[in-house]
Amino acid sequence: AQSVTQLDSQVPVFEEAPVELRCNYSSSVSVYLFWYVQYPNQGLQLLLKYLSGSTLVKGINGFEAEFNKSQTSFHLRKPSVHISDTAEYFCAVSPKAAGNKLTFGGGTRVLVKP
């Protein structure tokens, strides 16, 4: 079984400041890793994914994440946030052998202040 821990439930940040959202996972098998974003009153959409290869992954809207296998982490970063980045962000994993089943973390609410 897999589990995902997002260490911060809420992150307030000022506009144009950097932000980092932390994600740690636990799994006995190799996994794929994902970050999804949920804007208010909407469904989730994929920000980025790590499947293999380079551990630094770039996604949409200027976000990037780094896979650290030894620390079982997949932290999300953005160097300069905008008001429009206010949303909830979810880290998720799926086992490579059964990739259709996602396990989500509890989510991190990002509130960007002017």
Partner 1 sequence: NAGVTQTPKFQVLKTGQSMTLQCAQDMNHNSMYWYRQDPGMGLRLIYYSASEGTTDKGEVPNGYNVSRLNKREFSLRLESAAPSQTSVYFCASSDFIYEQFFGPGTRLTVL
Structure tokens at 90: 């979810």
CA–CA distance, 48 with 98 (Å, rounded to integer): 19
Other CB atoms within a 10 A radius of the CB of residue 4 amount to 23
- Partners of residue 58 on adjacent β-strands: 64
Q: Is 4 in the site for partner 1 (CB under 8 A)?
A: yes
Q: Is 102 in the site for partner 1 (CB under 8 A)?
A: yes
CB of 14 to partner 1, least distance (A): 25
Q: Is 94 in the site for partner 1 (CB under 8 A)?
A: yes
Q: In the complex, which residues of this chain contact partner 1 (CB under 8 A)?
A: 4, 6, 9, 32, 34, 41-46, 49, 51, 90, 92, 94, 99-107
